[in-house]
Structure formats: C-alpha cells, structure tokens
Amino acid sequence: MSALKGKTVLITGASRGIGAAAAKAVHEAGGAALLHATAASASAEAAAKAAGQTVEDFLFEDLAQSGAGTRLVEAALARTSRLDGVVNNAGIFTPSPLAGDIADWNDGWARTMAVNVQAPADICRAAVAHFRKRGGSGIVVNTASRAGHRGDGVENAAYAASKGAVLAMTKTWARGLAGENILFYAIAPGWVETRMAPKDIEDRKLAVKEIPLGRVAEPAEVAAMIAFLLSGACPSAAGATFDINGASYVR
C-alpha cells in the first residue's frame, strides 16, 4: 500500500495506543511519520521500531506547558521542509469530581484544557500557517471522543468538555479553510483497547455491555481510519466526524 507515499505527517501522542498505531499505519502506507511523546519510554521505543525509526527520532514536548504546541510544530519543521498532515492524538483523562478539594478541581480542568484543547489548537494554528506558506493544501485529523457528543460520567466533565471543544474547532476550521484545500476531520472513538479502557473486570463488563458490536475497538481500527483520511481520498468529507464506537452511540 502506498497511499501516503511521499507524505510527511506529524502525530502527537505516538508512543502508545492510537498514536502508535497511526504511526505504524502511516509507515505501512509509504509515508513518513514524525512522532511525538512527552518523554522517552519503552513504549516509545516499540512505537518507533514499528514505524521504521528509533526512539531518538521522537520529538519530545510536554503539551501541558504553555506554548508547547507551537514549539512542537517548529521542531517538526526543523526536521523536514514540508508537512503534509497532522494528527492531533495526544490527550489526557483527568477526573474532575464535583466533590473534593477545589485545588484538585482547578488543576484537573486546567491540565485537561491545556493538553486536550490549547495544545492541539496551537498545533493547528501553526500547521495552517505552514500549509498556507507553501501555497495551501494539508490535512489535519483531530482525535475527539464519543464523550464530546453524548457527555460522560458526572465526574468526567472536564474530559467531555475538552473533546466537545475539539469537535467545535475542527468543524470551524473545516468550514473556513476547505476552500484552500486545507482539510480538517475529526474522529470520535468510544472505548479503545488502550490504557484508558476499563481494566477492572466488572467495569469492563459494563463497558462492553453497551457496545452492540460486543467489544471495544482496537487501536489499529482507529489508525486505519486516520490513514484513510490522511490519504486525501475523499476531500468532500472535510468537516465530518467519524464515530468509531461499535454502534454504542449512533447520531
């Protein structure tokens, strides 16, 4: 498969889960992936190897820090003269309980918004500037969540709100930039077999019970959709959100 031959794609949160699977999919489709993680780790080494690289090829940046998204794109462009696509996949899940210490509440909301909203917004802004500088055209895939549509547990409002924001900004930029052939898409997974998936036996049973397909999604399934969108095979889908949830939430 060579649908991404000659294409270079920046992928955030690429050391594990969906990001690592997306990096592998890009590599297998003939593209070059620029991999991001917060720090080096054993999982980053494995992800790099699957994408035909080494852990030294990773771009490390803590997206909770101010300006991190912009710095990351600058670092990516220091490695390559051209970015064709961006996958904003990095995210955190921090509980925001209604009861408890107000400092924990404030910190949970602030960190969630920094990593899940501000950093991808900054990355999108820098990517659009790059796409325009080289004459237009580029693709951005933003990872949202089923929670951004239907909400989440009462203790997880910050996460749901952050993913709703990702959907809103994706739609906004898709509408405003498609005429320049700068295409934005969103994916909204439900439960995926990553470290965020329920590990407790009873919690897992409850999660699977609400999925008509009968199982949580595999990262490779989500990655396959990401690779397809990056290929540019269907520009008219710009602005769309692709639900990957085993029919557990059908809009």
Domain that includes residue 236, residue range: 8-103+115-244
Please give the Cα distance from 132 to 127 (Å, whole number). 9
Q: Dump strand ranges (E) for the chain.
A: 8-11, 32-37, 59-60, 85-88, 138-143, 182-189, 241-244
42 within domain boundaries: yes
Residue 173 has pLDDT above 70, yes or no: yes
Active-site residue, selected from the candidate residues 58, 131, 159, 191: 159
Question: Is 159 marked active-site?
Answer: yes
Task: Judge whether residue 213 has pLDDT over 70.
Answer: yes
For 92-130, write each residue's pLDDT tens digit.
999 889 998 999 999 999 999 999 999 999 999 999 999
Residue 228 resides in a domain: yes
Q: Looking at the DSSP assignment, which residues form a beta bridge with residue 32? A: 8
Contact yes or no for 117/164 (Cβ under 8 A): no
Classify residue 60: in a domain, yes or no. Answer: yes
CB of 230 closer than 8 Å to CB of 33 = no
Q: Is residue 216 part of a domain?
A: yes
Q: Kindly report which listed range (91-95, 144-148, 222-226) carries the lowest average pLDDT score.
A: 91-95
Structure tokens at 104: 């924990």
Q: Give the per-residue pLDDT at 100.
A: 87
The answer to whether the beta carbons of residues 109 and 165 sit under 8 Å apart is: no
What pLDDT does residue 181 have?
A: 98
Answer yes or no: are the C-beta atoms of 111 and 94 closer than 8 Å. Answer: yes
Quote the DSSP letter at residue 216: P
For residue 172, the domain's CATH number is: 3.40.50.720
Task: Give the per-residue pLDDT at 46.
Answer: 97
Band (206; pLDDT cuts 50, 70, 90): confident
Question: Is residue 22 situated within a structural domain?
Answer: yes
* pLDDT, average across residues 164-191: 97
CA separation for the pair 150, 75 (Å, rounded)? 36
* b (16+ CB within 10 A) / e for 217-239: bebebbbbbbbbbbbbeeeeebb
**Predicted pLDDT of residue 198:** 57
As to burial, measured by CB atoms within 10 angstroms (0-12 exposed, 13-18 middle, 19+ buried), residue 168 is middle
What is residue 176's predicted lDDT score, i.e. its pLDDT?
Answer: 98
- Whether residue 249 lies inside any domain: the answer is no
Domains identified in the chain, total number: 1
Note whether residue 109 is domain-resident: no
Q: Is residue 205 part of a domain?
A: yes
Mean pLDDT of 178-183: 98
* pLDDT band per the 50, 70, 90 thresholds, residue 201: low
Per the prediction, the chain carries an average pLDDT of: 94
